Amino acid sequence: MCKYGQQEFDRCIRVLEQEGRLSREQWKILLEGRTKERQEVLAHKAVSICSRIYGKQVFVRGLIEFTNYCKNNCYYCGIRRGNGKAERYRLTENEILSCCRSGFAMGFRTFVLQGGEDSYFTADKLAAIVRVIKKEFPQCAVTLSVGELEPEDYRKLREAGADRYLLRHETANPSHYRRLHPPELSLDHRLSCLAFIKELGFQTGAGFMVGSPGQTTDTLIDDLLFLARLQPQMVGIGPFIPHRDTPFGDEAPGSLDLTLYLLSLIRILLPGVLLPATTALGTIARDGREAGILAGANVVMPNLSPGEVRQKYQLYNNKICTGKEAAECLGELRASLAAIGYSVAIDRGDYITTKA
Ligand code: SAM
């Protein structure tokens, strides 16, 4: 028997839908009052909100993991500086462009350039790459996800034409942030980067791992309150999955069900949000990404990186990078989405504002 009654649970959902914000206590009722039936009802609600705004379509983004060099040492991440076993690589500008070319031919209209924090790729170099991509593919969006930079660097990238920036906040709770990161990284700095990215007019993505070591209901409430304040256009959440060559190698992975539940809550909180069903979700469960769509997600990011580097960009063990996960198998992804009533949009898939 759940300690929170149906009436108070329903009241919280109503307030969330009508006001787009909840108190700590109300979030606690939603997070701790989760039951199988309530989860199903929320997933249904999330799907109907999403399809009212975007239709029954899923936006695809071609993910180009262009470098796995990283100067940071985050305790959870397989490409952390301290992982001497990681086989490092960098793509050249030409290799990145050729990923875009093959992606464009397959129907991708967004390219996501993601990498570790690699000082080789200065803002000037990256801006030059963005310019070349935008010149050749003016109808496509470019998303960057290269971590924390100086304000003038973000500005250069925006001026070069980058449309979107993904920077998961990882956790909005300061002591949880310290549990996940070495002392030279700070939550304050990460949040100030996010605020600046948004100010520059990037479609901005925040997010966090579900089930990262030290995460509690309280830290999740901090995350949800933070998302309500930031009002990002994108939110990336996926389960934490351990990587054996990191300090968190023996930790338990995050839960599929909690990830799906949070996807539904985030869809209700931020109706127009672009919400990926992540690779990590597809990694912990074979149909994880389809389950994500049926919980309110509306984006998938198939891997466009050259085949030979895909396993080297290993944030966690057992990462999927073939079959439906591979950009070249878009047909397979289309079929699995068609089976749950969705089509793949050949479209940039920009954020739609839902507020008057
Ligand atoms: N360097 C950029 C940054 O810091 O935003 C982008 C690359 S970073 C590797 C991308 C995301 O991978 C992180 O924001 C983190 O949430 C996720 N990630 C890293 N290690 C993970 C793990 N073990 N399990 C699940 N997700 C992980």
Neighbours of 15 (CB within 10 A): 14
pLDDT (tens digit, 9 = 90+) per residue, 30-51? Answer: 999 999 999 999 999 999 999 9
Whether residue 238 has pLDDT greater than 70: yes
Q: Is residue 339 part of a domain?
A: yes
Q: Give the CA distances from residue 257 to residues 43, 62, 219, in Å, rounded to whole numbers and listed in that order.
A: 11, 26, 18
Contact in structure between 210 and 255 (CB atoms under 8 Å): yes
Ligand 1 mean position to 77 CA, how many Å? 6
Q: Is residue 4 part of a domain?
A: no
Q: Kindly report the protein residue whose alpha carbon is nearest to atom 5 of ligand 1.
A: 147
Mean pLDDT of the chain: 96
Residue 256: predicted pLDDT: 98
Token digits for 232?
Answer: 């990002």
Of 244, 315, 318, best ligand 1 pocket probe by most atoms within 8 Å of the beta carbon: 315
Question: What CATH number corresponds to the domain at position 120?
Answer: 3.20.20.70
Token digits for 296?
Answer: 């309110």
**Side chain identity at 175, as an amino acid letter?**
S
Residue 356: predicted pLDDT: 44
Whether residue 2 has pLDDT greater than 90: no
Ligand 1 atom at minimum distance from 253 CA: 24
Contact in structure between 268 and 227 (CB atoms under 8 Å): no
Q: Is residue 102 part of a domain?
A: yes
pLDDT (tens digit, 9 = 90+) per residue, 194-215? Answer: 999 999 999 999 999 999 999 9
Count of domains observed in the chain: 1
Ligand 1 mean position to 112 CA, how many Å? 14
Ligand 1 atom at minimum distance from 117 CA: 1
Q: Is residue 259 part of a domain?
A: yes
Ligand 1 mean position to 19 CA, how many Å? 31
Closest listed residue to residue 42, CA positions, set 311, 258, 339, 299 = 258
Question: Ligand 1: which residues within 6 Å by Cβ?
Answer: 76-77, 79, 114, 116-117, 145-147, 167-168, 170, 209, 238, 240-241, 243, 280, 315-316
Ligand 1 mean position to 58 CA, how many Å? 23
Q: Which domain holds residue 271?
A: 23-345
**Confidence at 355, pLDDT banded by 50, 70, 90:** low
Q: Is residue 264 part of a domain?
A: yes
Q: Is residue 142 part of a domain?
A: yes
Whether residue 105 has pLDDT greater than 60: yes
pLDDT (tens digit, 9 = 90+) per residue, 294-323? Answer: 999 999 999 999 999 999 999 999 988 777
Q: Is residue 17 part of a domain?
A: no
First-to-last alpha carbon distance for the chain, in angstroms, is 41
Of 68, 69, 120, 168, best ligand 1 pocket probe by most atoms within 8 Å of the beta carbon: 168
Q: Is residue 356 part of a domain?
A: no
For the segment 66-70, the average pLDDT, to the nearest whole number, is: 98
Tell me the whole-structure pTM to 2 decimals. Answer: 0.97
Ligand 1 atom at minimum distance from 116 CA: 1
Ligand 1 mean position to 315 CA, how many Å? 7
**b/e per residue 308-331 (b: at least 16 CB within 10 A):** ebbeebbbbeebbbeebbbbebbe
